């Protein structure tokens, strides 16, 4: 092989390598992920504070489409009293039968969010929550925050336990609200 041909082959190789690295870099930035999202819920009634937290939620944001997915193991919710946690898992969400809850949706008007630029972006998410074996449309409102190249987000939504066939026994109706306020906080890393 002559010298000119070797130079051209080398140039083509390095151009192809640069293209592949650029594509890999943009692909890596196309999804953001965490396994340590923080979810809290409040189902407090007039006579009792019923709150729980789960710091092991999995969350994925597709930066190209605005699609989001959240998954949480229900047994990972921690209550301030062990008896509340036991009743939650055994009597209400039946976590042995339905171990996981998911939320799948899409950020509306995602084109207005620029993940490459620092800022705070209010978002509305149209999605579906699956819990206790049932899937329902549940919109959420939140904020995506970009700071120094890091992406984080918060969201909030409300559900009615009765919409998911979660029954509150009459004996404790004054202690547990049918309306549950759910808060989500995530700190995301680019998916490799």
Query: What is the pTM for the complete model shown?
Result: 0.82
pLDDT band of 15, cuts 50, 70, 90? very low
CB 100 within 8 A of CB 72: yes
Residue pLDDT, tens place only, 91-139: 999 999 999 999 999 999 999 999 999 999 999 999 999 999 999 999 9
In a domain, 146, yes or no: yes
- φ, ψ of residue 40 in degrees (nearest 5): -125, 150
Q: What is the mean pLDDT of residues 39-46?
A: 94
**What per-residue confidence (pLDDT) applies to 3?**
54
CATH number at residue 111: 2.40.128.110
In a domain, 67, yes or no: yes
In a domain, 148, yes or no: yes
**What per-residue confidence (pLDDT) applies to 136?**
98
In a domain, 25, yes or no: no
Structure tokens at 183: 């808060």
Which stretch of DSSP H or E encloses residue 5?
A: helix 3-28
> What letter does residue 117 receive in the DSSP assignment?
S
Residue pLDDT, tens place only, 46-91: 888 999 999 999 999 999 999 999 999 999 999 999 999 999 999 9
pLDDT at 8 over 60: no
In a domain, 95, yes or no: yes
- φ, ψ of residue 96 in degrees (nearest 5): -70, -35
**What per-residue confidence (pLDDT) applies to 181?**
97
Please give the Cα distance from 180 to 88 (Å, whole number): 13
Report how far apart the first and last C-alpha atoms of the chain are (Å, whole number). Answer: 39
**What per-residue confidence (pLDDT) applies to 29?**
63
**What per-residue confidence (pLDDT) applies to 102?**
98
Q: What is the mean pLDDT of residues 12-40?
A: 63
Q: What is the dihedral of CA 69, 58, 178, 93, to 10 degrees?
A: 110
Domain enclosing residue 81, as ranges: 31-190
**What per-residue confidence (pLDDT) applies to 145?**
97
Give percent of the chain with pLDDT exceeding 90: 77
In a domain, 2, yes or no: no
In a domain, 26, yes or no: no
pLDDT at 158 over 80: yes
**What per-residue confidence (pLDDT) applies to 110?**
97
C-alpha distances (whole Å) from 154 to each of 97, 115, 134, 142, 187 are 29, 15, 24, 5, 9
As for how many domains the chain has, the answer is 1
In a domain, 60, yes or no: yes
């Amino acid at each position: 092989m002559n010298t000119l041909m070797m130079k051209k082959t080398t140039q083509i190789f390095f151009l192809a390598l640069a293209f592949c690295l650029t594509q890999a870099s943009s692909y890596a930035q196309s999804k953001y992920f965490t396994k340590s999202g923080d979810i809290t819920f409040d189902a407090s009634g007039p006579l009792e504070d019923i709150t729980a937290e789960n710091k092991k939620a999995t969350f994925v944001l597709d930066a190209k489409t605005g699609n989001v997915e959240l998954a949480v193991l229900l047994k990972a919710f921690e209550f301030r009293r062990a008896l509340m946690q036991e009743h939650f898992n055994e009597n209400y969400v039946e976590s042995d039968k339905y171990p996981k809850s998911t939320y799948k949706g899409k950020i509306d008007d995602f084109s207005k969010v620029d993940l490459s630029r620092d800022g705070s972006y209010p978002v509305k998410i149209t999605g579906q929550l699956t819990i206790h074996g049932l899937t329902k449309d549940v919109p959420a409102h939140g904020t995506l925050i970009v700071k120094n190249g890091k992406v984080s987000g918060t969201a909030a939504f409300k559900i009615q336990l009765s919409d998911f066939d979660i029954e509150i026994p009459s004996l404790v109706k004054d202690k547990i609200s049918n309306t549950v306020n759910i808060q989500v906080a995530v700190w995301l890393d680019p998916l490799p």
